[in-house]
Structure 1
Amino acid sequence: MFALDSRLQQDTLTIGDFPLCRLLLSNDANYPWFILVPRRDDISELFQLDVADQQRLWQETTALAEVLKDSFDADKMNVATLGNVVSQLHMHVIVRKRDDAAWPAPVWGKHPAKPYSAEQVAAIRERLRLVLDEDFKFLEG
């Protein structure tokens, strides 16, 4: 049974589900910062996924990164799994722009999080709804 880590629950907004991953939005309007979490139990490392899930994770990650790069006119996409604080496997997909609050440094711990308004979240959902394929299911979050 899939359960999202409590720290991810408290710091993110749920956007929807790909076939493998839950898509979350970090509740920090300083950066369009998305997180993909494979809906698998007790997985903390990429190599713990079976080969099919590894391939699916990369497909979902690259598809999302491409959509975000185009939708948000990114200068660079940051994609990483770290998991030093939250051990549950999760992939960060962060839109970076040369004029963002932390450029060119990493986004972690640079500025206090600036929560999204309901209107901003609705606009992001709509932007993604226009470009994500039919395999993606938007969830109320």
Structure 2
Amino acid sequence: MNGFTLDPRLEKDSISVMVTGLCDLRLSRDARWPWLILVPRRTGITEIFELTPLDQVLLTFETEMVAKALKEITGATKINVGALGNIVRQLHVHVIARFEGDANWPGPVWGFGQAESYEDEKRDELTAKLREALSS
């Protein structure tokens, strides 16, 4: 999109999986949870209500599509979805697969412990599965 730039913290903490109709779909570099981030490719937007009505519908649709694919791929117990933005103001939506017994279950993922990096092969396998599921 014209003028869109990704917040440097999102750039540092995640990798792009694919571009959807509205969003840059990104994978968190923290391997403790399969954690996706949808970033609407719109300039200067910090809140969902600042999007146009059409973009709000697209974000809802893409969030549902990503959450469903993540649950099917991972077999997660629960999918957590949230848009906080207290630290990174650029609008972004977290979609996180949670499992009973995962790091900090059933507590929140934010601010818990130390991030763990993906092994390249596992990261590449997950991103390939996501691209396949979201492209069909």
TM-score of the superposed pair, with normalisation by structure 2? 0.95
Q: Is 1:99 aligned with 2:69?
A: no
Structure 1 residue 70: Cα displacement: 1.0
User: 1:1-141 counterparts in 2 under 5 A?
Assistant: 1-133=3-135
**What value does the CA root-mean-square deviation take over the aligned residues?**
0.9
**Match of 2:105, as an amino acid?**
W
CA deviations on 1:28-77 (whole Å, 9 max, x unpaired) are: 01000100000000000000000000000000000000011111001111
Task: Tell me how far 1:130 sits from its aligned partner.
Answer: 2.6
Deviations 1:84-115 (A, max 9, x none): 00000000000000021110000011120001
SS in 2 for 1:130: helix
Identity of aligned residues (%): 46
Query: Which letter maps to 1:11?
Result: D
Q: Which segment drifts farther, 43-52 or 125-134?
A: 125-134
Q: Compute the displacement of 1:8 (Å).
A: 0.5
Opposite residue 78 of structure 2, the aligned amino acid is K
Deviation at 1:133, TM superposition (A): 2.2
More relative contact order, 1 or 2 (CA 8 Å, 6+ apart): 1
Q: Secondary structure at the match of 1:22?
A: strand
Q: TM-score, normalised by structure 1?
A: 0.92
Contiguous gaps of at least 5 residues in structure 1: 135-141
Q: How many residues align?
A: 134
Paired residue secondary structure (1:29): coil
Richer in helix (by share): 2
Return structure 1 stretches of 4+ with deviation > 3 angstroms.
none
SS of residue matched to 1:131: helix
